[in-house]
Amino acid sequence: MKTLDRIISLIRIPLFIFMLIYQFIALFDGLDYWLGLHWIITSILAFLITKIPIFAIAAGMFGAKTVWGWSWIQTVMLFFGPQLMVMLIYSVFGGGVKIYSLLKRAN
C-alpha cells in the first residue's frame, strides 16, 4: 500500500496544480462574462472569491458552462473529477490489496 501512496502522490501533485490553474481560469472567465469588468479588477475579485470555496466553484462552473460552452457533466468533472478519480483508484487498488492479503492469509 505504501507504493500505491507514493505513486498517487507523484501523480496527484502536478495534476492538482494543473487543475487549480484550469479552475481559476474558469472562475476568471465566469466573473469576466458575468460582471463585464476590466480584467485587472476581475482577477483581483477572482483571487478574493477563492477564499470562499462555494462561491468560487459556482462562478467557475458558470464560466465553464456559459463562456466555454461545456456540458454540465464536463463542468462538474472539472471541479470534482480529481477527487472522484483518487477515490476510485484507492477503492479499486486498496480493495484489491486487501482481498489479496486476506486470500494469502487463508492459505
Neighbours of 17 (CB within 10 A): 10
The model carries a pTM of 0.70
40: pLDDT strictly greater than 80: yes
Above 90 in pLDDT, residue 11? no
- Residue 96 banded pLDDT, cuts 50, 70, 90: low
Domain boundaries, the chain: 2-106
Which residue, among 30, 20, 16, 31, has the nearest Cα to 85 in the 3D structure?
16
Q: What pLDDT does 105 receive? A: 73
Flag whether pLDDT at 58 surpasses 60.
yes
Nearest to 7 by CA among 89, 87, 98: 89
